[in-house]
Amino acid sequence: MTPAKLADAVLAAAHALFAERGLDPTALPESTAVERPRNPEHGDYASTLALQLAKKSGVPPRDLAAGLADQLGRTPGIKSVEIAGPGFLNIRLDAAAAGQLARVVVQAGKEYGHSERLAGQKINLEFVSANPTGPVHIGGVRWAALGDALARLLRAVGAEVGTEYYVNDAGTQIDRFAQSLLAASRGEPTPEDGYAGAYIAEIAEGITRDHPDADLATFRSVGVERMLAEIESSLTGFGVHFDLYFRESDLHSRGELDHALTRLREQGHVFEADGAIWLRTTDFGDDKDRVLRKSDGEWTYFAADCAYYLDKRERAFERVVMMLGADHHGYIGRMRAMVSCFGDDPDTHLEIMIGQMVNLVRDGVPVRMSKRAGTVVTLEDVVEAIGVDAARYALARYSADSPIDIDVELWTRSTRDNPVYYVQYVAARTASVARNAAEVGLSRGDADSFRPELLDHEKENELLKALGEYPSVVATAAELREPHRIARYLEDLSGNYHRFYDNCRILPKGDEPIGDLHRTRLWLNDATRTVIANGLDLLGVSAPERM
């Protein structure tokens, strides 16, 4: 019996009860859920349905709870139902019904935890989008970890996801980048407002080698391509693949800014003043109107944002998700207003996620500079310091709302206090048990030797409940755009596995003959490995066979 099926049973009981008492069935929700109470005295699962229905039905909650308990008590697999407090239903399952889950999980394999909850939704996810004027810095690394995890999560719940990296290859920052390369190639000092760092000299040198007569235009075009190739390669090494690297220059060359301007004009929110073309974003709550085309005829960055948004919408994405650093949160107001100016609804078509700052900390002091980039800490620096797995886990483990310090010493430690090791250790332990089982001739066996009623130890029950919770954790994490929930869940699951391991011997001791308990526990071991591996995969972290 999975929690989802139990929840269905609770709802079915409510329907039966309402019919029996002649109550209005429209008061019943379409679906309900059961909780995994922390306090074991509150049963294996708890439902608050009676509390929720009391007001709507006009029946006292404890009275409703009693009726529900009566109905539920007749459901196979349910051992007992108690009413507690104001009207909680505390439900206990038979060991056999609870234990079935081990088999459900193993048989579902990689699919366990997946659902169709967001099926049919087409979501565009844009993240990182660091300017191609230098390596990806640490803030972008957080988005790489979080954005990629979110893409995996959304796909796991059935959404159609397109991931994109917006390449700002058309603005004046690119001019400065080109001039910095040119200066470096001539051995001249970095121009004012230019880019410094060893990488500039390296790229300049490479371009000069391949294009001896390179002029500013060459440094510009080739420089951007090489920088972008480097960025893409470092992201690939980080396990992050983008479906599309979208170039701002394409918006210009395809005339998409004019197209967007036309559309905005049609909607009636464009005006001219002081020789510039403006979008009246104040119509939709922005604190000031925004320039689309400057008086000198140049498009603004904001105009390109408008065109890019329109482009995504015209590619049939119904939801446009963008991830920005906290220093860009001022964009939210104008972006939402812009969406409204197009006639869209910012609450349904746009979603802007804001992430707080990240520091790499060594010996209690923030690391400030990269060996290669000079002024910032880069993706390579983070990977070199703690490795891809730890970096991805550390960056995905915290809510994007909270600023984080990544302590190099902590995240490279091989102890309990390093969360990624704690979780990966379970992956290794479960794999080790499976290997040892195979060596002594123990296998999960067939359906006859899977005897879930034998899984009646407290720690087995706790582990089963944790495993059963996984699908709803995935669904919630996807809906709330909070990958950190996966990490926290995996840590909880890991604790449950270790306690099971400590209390319940899986393999036969010495000459002990192999029995159904050994086989059944092996199912539980393998179910745990499945969920740990699936969860880590959502975060882009490996599930090692050995450590």
Partner RNA sequence: GCGCUCGUAGCUCAGCGGAUAGAGCAGCUGCCUUCUAAGCAGUUGGUCGCAGGUUCGAAUCCUGCCGGGCGCACCA
Which of 499, 514, 515, 542 binds RNA (CB under 7 A)? It is 499
Q: Is 520 in the site for RNA (CB under 7 A)?
A: no
CB-wise, 74 or 509, nearer to RNA?
Answer: 509
Stretch near RNA under the rule CB under 7 A, chosen from 47-55, 135-143, 307-315, 372-380: 47-55
Q: Is 15 in the site for RNA (CB under 7 A)?
A: no
Q: Is 230 in the site for RNA (CB under 7 A)?
A: no
Question: Helix crossing, 388-396 with 379-386: angle to 10°?
Answer: 110
Q: Is 270 in the site for RNA (CB under 7 A)?
A: no
Minimum CB separation of residue 361 from RNA in Å reads 10
Minimum CB separation of residue 388 from RNA in Å reads 16
Minimum CB separation of residue 420 from RNA in Å reads 10
Which residues, in sequence order, are CB contacts of 153 under 8 Å at separation 6+?
Answer: 474, 477, 478, 483, 486, 538
Q: Is 201 in the site for RNA (CB under 7 A)?
A: no
**Cα 155 to Cα 119: distance, rounded to the nearest angstrom:** 9
The residue among 4, 13, 8 whose CA lies nearest residue 36 is: 4
Q: Is 258 in the site for RNA (CB under 7 A)?
A: no
With helix as H, strand as E and coil as C, how does 447-460 read?
Answer: HHHCCHHHCCCHHH
Q: What are phi and psi of 86, to 5 degrees?
A: -75, -10
Q: Is 470 in the site for RNA (CB under 7 A)?
A: no
SS3 assignment, position 509: coil
Which of 488, 516, 517, 542 binds RNA (CB under 7 A)? It is 488
**Cα 380 to Cα 388: distance, rounded to the nearest angstrom:** 10
**Cα 119 to Cα 403: distance, rounded to the nearest angstrom:** 33
Which of 238, 501, 520, 528 binds RNA (CB under 7 A)? It is 501
The two three-digit tokens of residue 42, written as one number: 């509150």
CB-wise, 32 or 218, nearer to RNA?
Answer: 32
The residue among 50, 59, 63 whose CA lies nearest residue 90 is: 50
> Which parts of 424-453 interact with RNA (CB under 7 A)?
425, 428-429, 431-433, 436
> Which parts of 78-117 interact with RNA (CB under 7 A)?
84-86, 88, 90
**Strands 319-325, 358-362: parallel, antiparallel or unpaired by DSSP?**
unpaired
Q: Is 156 in the site for RNA (CB under 7 A)?
A: no
> Which parts of 359-418 interact with RNA (CB under 7 A)?
398-399, 401-405, 414-417
DSSP 366: E
Stretch near RNA under the rule CB under 7 A, chosen from 73-81, 200-208, 380-388, 483-491: 483-491
CB-wise, 55 or 254, nearer to RNA?
Answer: 55
**Cα 289 to Cα 298: distance, rounded to the nearest angstrom:** 17
DSSP 281: G
Tokens 């396990």 correspond to 239
Minimum CB separation of residue 371 from RNA in Å reads 25
Binding footprint of RNA, residue count (CB under 7 A): 93
**Cα 144 to Cα 404: distance, rounded to the nearest angstrom:** 15
* H or E stretch covering 267: none
Q: Decide if 260 contacts 306 (C-beta within 8 A).
A: yes
CB-wise, 76 or 510, nearer to RNA?
Answer: 510
CB-wise, 402 or 443, nearer to RNA?
Answer: 402
CB-wise, 369 or 480, nearer to RNA?
Answer: 480
CB-wise, 210 or 545, nearer to RNA?
Answer: 545
> Which parts of 321-350 interact with RNA (CB under 7 A)?
326-333
DSSP letter string over 285-336?
A: T-SS-EEEE-TTSPBPHHHHHHHHHHHHHHTT-SEEEEEEEGGGTTHHHHHH
Q: Is 30 in the site for RNA (CB under 7 A)?
A: no
The two three-digit tokens of residue 342, written as one number: 């197009």
By the 10 Å C-beta count (0-12 exposed, 13-18 middle, 19+ buried), 426 is classed as buried
Q: Is 41 in the site for RNA (CB under 7 A)?
A: yes
Minimum CB separation of residue 379 from RNA in Å reads 20
Torsion angle of the four alpha carbons 314, 246, 116, 476, in this order, in degrees rounded to the nearest 10:
-110
Q: Is 422 in the site for RNA (CB under 7 A)?
A: yes
User: Percent helix, strand, coil in the chain (nearest 5)?
Assistant: 55, 15, 30
Q: Is 249 in the site for RNA (CB under 7 A)?
A: no
> Which parts of 277-296 interact with RNA (CB under 7 A)?
287-288, 291, 294-296
**Cα 288 to Cα 281: distance, rounded to the nearest angstrom:** 7
Q: Is 308 in the site for RNA (CB under 7 A)?
A: no
Q: Is 166 in the site for RNA (CB under 7 A)?
A: no
**Cα 291 to Cα 296: distance, rounded to the nearest angstrom:** 12
Minimum CB separation of residue 419 from RNA in Å reads 7
Which of 67, 134, 171, 535 binds RNA (CB under 7 A)? It is 171
* Angle CA 93–101–476, to nearest 5: 95
Q: Is 151 in the site for RNA (CB under 7 A)?
A: no
Q: Is 259 in the site for RNA (CB under 7 A)?
A: no
Minimum CB separation of residue 210 from RNA in Å reads 26
The two three-digit tokens of residue 261, written as one number: 């301007």
Minimum CB separation of residue 155 from RNA in Å reads 20
Q: Is 139 in the site for RNA (CB under 7 A)?
A: no
Minimum CB separation of residue 317 from RNA in Å reads 22
Q: Is 196 in the site for RNA (CB under 7 A)?
A: no
Which of 48, 71, 100, 520 binds RNA (CB under 7 A)? It is 48
CB-wise, 254 or 416, nearer to RNA?
Answer: 416
CB-wise, 232 or 482, nearer to RNA?
Answer: 482
Which of 32, 221, 267, 356 binds RNA (CB under 7 A)? It is 356
Q: What's the residue count for the chain? A: 547
Q: Is 43 in the site for RNA (CB under 7 A)?
A: yes
The two three-digit tokens of residue 193, written as one number: 């407002």
Q: Is 274 in the site for RNA (CB under 7 A)?
A: yes
